[in-house]
Amino acid sequence: MNIYGIRAIYHFEMARTFRTLWASIAAPVLTTSLYFIVFGKAIGSRMGDIDSISYGAFIIPGLVMLNLLNESISNASFGIYMPRWSGTIYELLSAPISWVEVLMGYVGAAATKSVILGLLILGTARIFVPYEIAHPLWMIAFLLLTAVTFSLFGFIIGLWADNFQKLQVVPMLIVTPLTFLGGAFYSINMLPPLWQKITLFNPVVYLISGFRWSFYGVADVHIGESIGMTFGFLVICLTFVWWVFKTGYKIRN
């Protein structure tokens, strides 16, 4: 295991974050604060409880997940796309470092940044809404699992994208709408029966439901299904990355 290679990639990616601290950390936290002010205070005060949870507290897991998914994908995709765009990817490929070690460096840094952001948003939520975490260890575990999984997904997008515009296509046109429709601001049990069944085809439902369970012990789908879906997506992403490095698709031509 080339620890020095992993550490070099990891430190480089983390240093890039601190050079753009406003865009990487401050802006998402401020944006989420506006969500808490509008939905948690203005609208939430006029809505009833959902599953015996105040509306302001109910949306906290959804808002954290919304930022976690987008930031994990963006950080990882931009991190690997830049070497491809600048041509330095060939130096990386010729270095004595395996694809697993490359993945650990880039995905590890992206997941670290996303987890830090998620914890900052949880801290910010405490200012606006009182809440308790029923299963803190499960919450941390689910936060880490989701950050790593979607950082892997972002890594794949960074390998696939041919230009900077394509880096934003999947997060903006697919992930964000699926998050809003996945129960971030409501329980899917509030939907008509037909739409409840249709919503179960949205993979983000399982992420938000599992994360909400770690806070309040309530979920739209069983926690085992949430963990299983997340692990399944993780395995799919790992398999695809292995295939990319084995064949050289998008990185050697």
pLDDT at 213 over 90: yes
**pLDDT reported for residue 153:** 92
Q: Which of 46-50, 51-55, 150-154 has the highest mean pLDDT?
A: 150-154
Using only C-alpha atoms, the chain has a radius of gyration, in whole angstroms, of: 19
pLDDT digits (tens, 9 = 90+) for 53-65: 888 888 889 889 9
pLDDT digits (tens, 9 = 90+) for 80-99: 888 888 877 777 777 788 88
